[in-house]
């Protein structure tokens, strides 16, 4: 299995190389050259299997020679062992034909753990073999950073630096980033907002001398290995509701389009998914794009579902690549137009996108109202991101079972929940001491040179 860039000119890579590289050198995103299809009988045979077994069967064809079978099984086992639920991704029923896929039982209580836990294990195993050491730098608005700290702490061949906007993450998110005590993980509180953090990380990747000097690697949501790990729970949940004999639909609270793109891959692999519904908060660039054909930014407004507060959706480039018939040159041109604010999606590409995706938007008031209503109707406490999903899913219910992805635990966003139902959700008992642990962080100005010299110092010591 080989990986090509969505912009057509970067080197073709193996799975292991694409995982280590993250962003392609032509600015594009790596995608598999062909998508392996699972036969109906193979999908049917997943029924009753453990999450780990399904993970092995779904991901194996993508790995090429990077890992042996037994080795890969061991990495999967280690990745999902810290989860607080034996089913890993359990389904609960919300209504007659509506199910919630709880993706928040991992060590940092958000779905990011599914991919991050596995990529941590895979990177460490690959580096241990080659004897190399890498420096991972990532920007976060909260969930990615905490998941990465948890997944990489203590790994021998990796130094991890997480940049988060000082004062702009929730207390649970901050503590999850600042309380791991291992010497190879570092939390940097940057004086700026999330876009500043992300811009500084991009600057580091574009500074090829620095990039090669510190062996820079990325684990943000454009990393193909992360997308791949997320394909698994589309299979596990659909099969437990009767796939491949019965089709299902999914609604996905969407920001950078990584999670829902994994659903698209599952559909291309042969899983009978009728519709993938994009659910956005008031930062609705994707909903507007699908409705009007205009992909155009109009700024970010903070919301109570901050992990979906995005200006542009980086993984959407992968969906466009497929919709434009794998034409890298066309994608490079669209992304160039993006610099002046946006572009028009061609009629053919728009029709192709609409044959798979539907979309909806949820305002702040509707988010609160949904948390309240669903608590009364079902007893389930939704986090604000999941509430956005449930609200939009409710507008798309029909004869096909709908699975809505619950992307974070409500205790990660206690203020929004308190507003809606008058009580604070408890942290699961296994992390009840989070507020007693010692914090460790470095406050840094929003300055590329300063960040680079701090990183160089830390990895030398
Ligand atoms: C990251 C995140 C999302 C958005 O996922 P994308 O893959 O960026 O679309 C939604 N909800 C939560 C809780 C998240 O952490």
Does the Cβ of 306 fall within 6 Å of ligand 1? no
Q: How large a percentage of the chain has pLDDT more than 90?
A: 89
Average pLDDT value over all residues in the chain: 95
Q: Is the pLDDT of residue 74 over 90?
A: yes
Q: What values do phi and psi take at 134, rounded to 5? A: -125, 160
- Give residue-wise pLDDT tens across range 337-361: 998 999 999 999 999 999 999 999 9
Q: How many CB atoms lie within 10 A of CB 86?
A: 10
From the CA of 385, give the closest atom in ligand 1.
11
- Give residue-wise pLDDT tens across range 280-313: 999 999 999 999 999 999 888 999 998 998 888 8
How far apart CA 319 and CA 228 sit, in angstroms, is 14
CA 253 – ligand 1 centroid, Å: 7
Does the Cβ of 7 fall within 6 Å of ligand 1? no
Domains in the chain, start-ordered, CATH in brackets? 86-106+224-421 (3.40.50.1100)
Q: Is the pLDDT of residue 461 over 80?
A: no
Q: Taking phi first (over 0 means left), then psi (-120 to 50 degrees means alpha), and beta for anything else, what does residue 83 get?
A: beta
**Structural element, H or E, at residue 164:** strand 158-165
Which pLDDT band, with edges at 50, 70 and 90, does 373 fall under? very high
In sequence order, the 6+-apart residues with CB closer than 8 A to the CB of 36 are 1, 61, 62, 269
Does the Cβ of 407 fall within 6 Å of ligand 1? yes
CA 129 – ligand 1 centroid, Å: 32
* Residue at token pair 């050198």: 25
Q: What is the mean pLDDT of residues 450-458?
A: 97
Q: What is the mean pLDDT of residues 79-104?
A: 97
Q: Is the pLDDT of residue 247 over 90?
A: yes
Does the Cβ of 307 fall within 6 Å of ligand 1? yes
Q: What is the mean pLDDT of residues 375-394?
A: 97
* 48, 28 contact by CB (below 8 A): no
Q: Is the pLDDT of residue 243 over 80?
A: yes
From the CA of 253, give the closest atom in ligand 1.
10
């Amino acid at each position: 299995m080989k990986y090509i860039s969505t912009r057509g000119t970067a080197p073709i890579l193996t799975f292991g190389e694409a995982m280590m590289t993250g962003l392609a050198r032509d600015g594009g995103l790596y995608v598999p050259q062909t998508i392996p299809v699972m036969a109906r009988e193979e999908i049917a045979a997943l029924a009753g299997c453990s999450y780990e077994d399904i993970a092995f069967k779904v991901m194996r064809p993508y790995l090429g020679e990077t890992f042996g079978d037994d080795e890969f099984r061991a990495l999967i086992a280690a990745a999902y062992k810290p989860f607080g639920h034996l089913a890993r991704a359990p389904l609960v029923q919300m209504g007659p034909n509506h199910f919630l896929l709880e993706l928040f039982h991992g060590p940092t209580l958000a779905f990011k753990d599914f991919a991050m836990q596995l990529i941590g294990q895979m990177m460490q195993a690959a580096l241990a073999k080659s004897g190399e050491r890498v420096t991972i730098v990532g920007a976060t608005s909260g969930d990615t950073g905490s998941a990465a700290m948890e997944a990489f702490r203590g790994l021998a061949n990796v130094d991890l630096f997480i940049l988060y906007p000082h004062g702009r993450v929730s207390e649970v998110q901050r503590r999850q980033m600042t309380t791991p005590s291992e010497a190879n993980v570092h939390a940097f509180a940057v004086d700026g907002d999330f876009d500043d953090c992300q811009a500084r990380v991009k600057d580091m990747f574009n500074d090829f001398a620095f990039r090669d000097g510190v062996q820079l690697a990325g684990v943000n949501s454009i990393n193909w290995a992360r997308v791949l790990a997320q394909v698994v729970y589309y299979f596990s949940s659909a099969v437990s509701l009767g796939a491949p004999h019965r089709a299902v639909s999914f609604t996905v609270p969407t920001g950078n389009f990584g999670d829902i793109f994994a659903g698209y891959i599952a559909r291309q692999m042969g899983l009978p998914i009728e519709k993938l519904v994009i659910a956005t908060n008031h930062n609705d660039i994707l909903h507007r794009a699908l409705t009007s054909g205009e992909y155009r930014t109009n700024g970010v407004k903070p919301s109570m579902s901050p992990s979906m507060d995005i200006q542009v959706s980086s993984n959407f480039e992968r969906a466009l690549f497929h919709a434009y018939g794998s034409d890298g040159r066309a994608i490079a041109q669209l992304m160039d137009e993006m610099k002046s604010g946006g572009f028009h999606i061609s009629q053919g590409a728009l029709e192709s996108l609409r044959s798979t995706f539907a979309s909806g938007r949820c305002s702040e008031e509707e988010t609160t109202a949904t948390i309240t209503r669903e608590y009364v109707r079902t007893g389930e406490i939704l986090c604000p991101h999941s509430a956005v999903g449930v609200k939009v899913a409710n507008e798309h219910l029909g004869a096909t079972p709908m699975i809505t992805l619950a992307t974070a635990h409500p205790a990660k966003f206690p203020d929004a929940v308190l507003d809606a139902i008058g009580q604070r959700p408890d942290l699961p008992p296994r992390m009840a001491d989070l507020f007693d642990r010692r914090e460790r962080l470095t406050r840094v100005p929003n300055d590329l040179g300063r960040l680079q010299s701090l990183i160089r110092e830390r990895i030398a010591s």
